[in-house]
Amino acid sequence: MEQYSKKLEIRWADLDPNFHVLHSKYYDFGAYCRMAFLTEHDITPAVMVENNIGPIIFREECVFKREIKFGDKLEVFLKLSKCNEDASRWSMVHELWTNGNTLAALITIDGAWIDTSIRKLAKPPEVCIMGIKLIPKAENYNQ
């Protein structure tokens, strides 16, 4: 897959008192894009429950480049920047672009899979491995 993105609409509820998007909403936009990808690639909540597996995040960082305002057209791109062989640990980058030409933010996350029954890190089932490896690779992808 060459690229994956989600187009999002900025809602009034996304704004802060300065009339631009509240900083925590940027993280929500990234999570929405990431979870949409997983769901579209058969890593659904039902599959996670069935396999006692879930994604966890060790680090989430956003570099804010430009403000996002009400009325802006927002597109969030998802890229895989790191992944070990069994896809048990990974890093992803989310690029938030406004109006087709302005990079508004870069969100980087480092994560893994947890066995939800024993609350310990775990190797994911094959469906998760295959899904994670389908995420488009970042230019600086590192296995």
Complete DSSP assignment for 61-103: EEEE-S--BTT-EEEEEEEEEEE-TTSSEEEEEEEEEETTTEE
- CB-based contact 74:7 (threshold 8 Å): yes
| Domain 4-142 coded CATH 3.10.129.10 | yes
Report d(CA 81, CA 34) in Å as an integer. 13
In the prediction, which pLDDT does 1 show? 65
- Residue-wise pLDDT for 35-46, tens only, equals 999 999 999 999
Q: Is the pLDDT of residue 143 over 80?
A: no
Phi then psi dihedrals of residue 29, to 5 deg: -60, -45
- Domain spans of the chain, in order of start: 4-142
SS3 22: coil
